[in-house]
Amino acid sequence: MDLPDRARIRIDEGTRVLAVTGAGISAESGLATFRGAGGLWEGHRVEDVATPEGFAADPARVWRFYSARRAAALTAEPNAAHRALAALERRIGDRMLLVTQNVDGLHRRAGSERLIEIHGSLFRTRCARCERPPFPDEALHEAKVPACERCAAGGRRAYLRPDIVWFGELLDSGHLRRVEAFAARPPGGRLVFLAVGSSGNVWPVAGFVDLAAAAGAETWLVNLDPAENAWHFDRVVRGPAAETLPRLLGLEV
């Protein structure tokens, strides 16, 4: 759909917004997406770097991959699309929930707080074996795979790993419950579902549009290319997020 210059998503006093973002929203911050030409999955096999089996087989390779992504994300800056979603949250407060599949931290740095990082964070590390809580970590573990000191103190050997949800792993059930509760529409309330920069390939997030539609939401997709699940949306706007989203939301940022 070509977007007329004055087209806006109507967000009035009774509207709640459930927004879902993917790698495309960070593309204009200079971070690679996963799929497509030049994407991360072109240079790396998913099973090597984004599965527990890949980590068990070669933890050094996995840390090289995530260290490079940490380094890139640390030097990237949030763009106008991240800032527009943060500005929307400042305006509508708890009528907004933002779910990101991104692990790059750019939404938080743009100021979003009602935020679920549903695939984890590049900037947290956890033990691959014990239940110690994940902890903040910006270090680049390029040369040596870090070991868990807590396991070592108990005489066990275990590696630390990025706190990222890999393929074959479960999402946090508390996160899913929060999304479902938010989508359940109160009588008389209006719900807008907005997906930005995601190819719609990875479940369950690709199905959130259906959850929201079942709750009566008006559904919008802002994406550069046609997404896998585009036909599930009422309105599909093709374009780069940093340019398109602030305009759609009527927010100059």
Q: Which residues are catalytic?
A: 119
User: Which of 7, 68, 224, 230 lies at the binding interface for ligand OAD (CB under 6 A)?
Assistant: 224
Query: For the chain, where are the E strands, in sequence order?
Result: 15-21, 96-100, 115-117, 120-127, 135-136, 160-164, 190-196, 218-223, 235-238
User: Which of 33, 112, 121, 229 lies at the binding interface for ligand OAD (CB under 6 A)?
Assistant: 33
**What is the DSSP track for 205-247?**
GGGHHHHHHHTT-EEEEEESS--TTGGG-SEEEES-HHHHHHH
- The distance in angstroms from the start CA to the end CA of the chain is 24
Can residue 197 be called a binding residue for ligand OAD (CB under 6 A)? yes
Can residue 191 be called a binding residue for ligand OAD (CB under 6 A)? no
Can residue 201 be called a binding residue for ligand OAD (CB under 6 A)? yes
DSSP at 170:
P
Structure tokens at 95: 């009528």
Rule CB under 6 A: which of 35-74 touch ligand OAD? Answer: 35, 39, 50
User: Which of 29, 101, 125, 219 lies at the binding interface for ligand OAD (CB under 6 A)?
Assistant: 101
Q: Shortest gap between Cβ of 20 and ligand OAD (angstroms)? A: 9
Within 8 A by CB and 6+ apart from 43, the residues are none
For ligand OAD, the closer CB: 55 or 151: 55
Q: Shortest gap between Cβ of 40 and ligand OAD (angstroms)? A: 8
Assign residue 48 a region: left if phi > 0, alpha if psi is -120 to 50, beta otherwise? alpha
For ligand OAD, the closer CB: 196 or 217: 196
Give the interface with ligand OAD as residue ranges (CB under 6 A): 22-24, 27-28, 33-35, 39, 50, 101, 119, 165-166, 197-199, 201-202, 223-225, 227, 240-241
